[in-house]
Amino acid sequence: MKQLGVLDTAFINLEHPNTPQHVGGLGIYDPSTAPGGFVRFKGVIANFERRLLKHTIFRSRLLKVPGNVDRPYWVEDANFDVEFHIRHIALPQPGDWRQLCILVARLHARPLDMNRPLWEAYIIEGLDNIPGVPKGGFAIYTKMHHSLVDGAGGSSIMSVIHDLEPDPAAVPQAPEVVTVDVAPGTMYLAGSAAVNNIKNSVKMLTGGVSVLRDLGKMAVGMAQKKIPIPSIKSPRTRFNTPVGPYRVFEAAEFELADVKFLKDASKVKINDVVLSVIAGGLRRYLEHHNELPDESLSVSIPLDMRTRRGLTDENNQVGSVFVELHTNIADPLERLAAVYKSSQEAKIYGENSPLVDVLRLAGVMSPAITTSLVSSYVNNGLTRHLPLGISSVVSNVAGPNFPLYSAGAQMVRYYGLGLLTPGVGLFHLIFSSNGIMTMSILGDRNAMPDPAFYRECIEQSFDELLAAAKNIANTGSAAKSNSTPAPAPAKRSAAKSSVAKKAASSSASSASAKKPAVTQAVKKPVARKAKSASSAKASASASVNGAVADDTKVVPIKNTVS
């Protein structure tokens, strides 16, 4: 039995039917790598069960303290049934990308059963009309409560539920020893709660003094202009209305080589490229709806606090800072430079501000008090009256740079899903693995009734930025040359012109001429470029970082709907 940490408890206390506090992921798998070339549902269950035996957290449920006066405990569930947590479903005909997105959005909107271990998995078949999905391919959608894992720990959880080779039977098995906890009695929990409340009071007092000291240092740094002042007065958008219980899901896909080219050409970080692409997408989307503010929008960026706090026994070690997106700048390269400057300022602020840990307040107070405040806050729509205008949360997670398998089937794509908070109805989760970067879009259905259009805006924003960067690179190369441009550079110029033209147009037909980044499968511009399945497969096989062998069959998965 183990008591939850402060931040882990915060996510339990913030749980509400409209804003459940779980995160998720959608993986697509190629069964041809499995022994015999196919996978049975029983094999997937056996694979999950075998691996979960080694990690008690997936077999543990919450045990609340009487009166909810103290942080709850994890206890290993004596009645744990893996088949309750893994469900087998199929898409209805015709089984296309749009149906998969709708299904995943519905599954992600449902709160977890807080009386059982806080995770679920769905094996989804019937992906017959999603171009690029391998024959017989299937998807696995998983969701787990944020109290179990944060974003930085998500990749390690992926390795927990996957194998590193296609034949799990070839991995030596340890003796299966399953332990369970005997739940303590009411008197024991009440006594522990009394002791813990005294300890917490002392910690809050000393912590409050420490926070005041750090705030004083930060104020001095701001006065001396050594610490930048964050922008907290960004304009509010449709994503700052009270969040409802329904969700939408979409995803775009980019070749990591193109993202790295943008990073190197502009001398910025990959996060800056991502933020600039999102800025361009939001700009296009809100402009289309005649809702684009004149001032810059801002987003919240989760921070991995492990480097600040060191290793702890908490599942969550996350903070957050605000970054301006400069959506008021039309030029994509100027906007990228401005985003880079803002992100560097946010980094300095995050390193010096105790406020990046503000989420811990939801776990410090008694759960009985916090849950009542959260219910009142959400049910009365108090987000309407808050001054903060954070349009989205953007989380970037680096995935494993090696193949993963489930019951022998290789994972060829992965899309992460975050969570929505009462005042922020849009979440972007970026996941990079084996030369492909996916950008998953989770939104409140009322705030974003047209997620496919927003995906197109994101894709066009990326194309526009890539075309502009290539234009500068080609112009610089031509300026350095003393001779007349050779046919090869001329051909690159033509390709560049085609990309720029496509980025400026929302027409799918004009987009079909674009050639770069063939492996951007789910990314609509890529899908339009890769009309040839054979060329798309060839490009996908040649992974950017060489981590995927030529025969791993990493194929472009298109999310376009015919």
Just list the catalytic residues: 146
Residues 554 and 27: their CA atoms lie apart, in Å, by: 13
Preceding peptide of 94 cis, ω within 30°: yes
Specify whether the CB–CB gap between 39 and 138 falls below 8 A.
yes
Cα–Cα distance for residue pair 416/431, rounded to 1 Å: 7
Using alpha carbons, select from 265, 281, 292 the residue that is nearest to residue 428.
Answer: 281
Q: Which amino acid is at 191?
A: G
526/462 Cα distance (integer angstroms):
11
Residue 78 CA, distance from chain mean position: 32
Q: What's the CA dihedral at 475, 476, 478, 482 to 10 degrees?
A: 150
Find all residues with CB under 8 Å of 191, minimum gap 6, and list them.
none
**CB burial class (10 A; 0-12, 13-18, 19+) of residue 557?**
buried
CA distance 107 to 547: 32
Distance CA 414, CA 29 (A): 9
Q: List, in sequence order, the alpha helices (H) in 148-251.
A: 151-160, 186-223
Residue type, 172: P
Quick check: 107 and 533 in contact, CB under 8 A?
A: no
d(CA 118, CA 59): 9
Nearest to 119 by CA among 251, 233, 199, 25: 25
* Location of structure tokens 């906890």: 181
In angstroms, the CA 418 to CA 145 distance is 11
Instruction: Please report which helix (H) or strand (E) contains residue 429, including its range.
Output: strand 426-433
Cα 222 from Cα 352, distance rounded (Å)? 10
Q: In this structure, is the dihedral angle defined by the CA atoms of residues 145, 150, 152 and 153, taken in order, positive or negative?
A: negative
Among 143, 203, 197, 144, residue whose Cα is nearest residue 367: 197
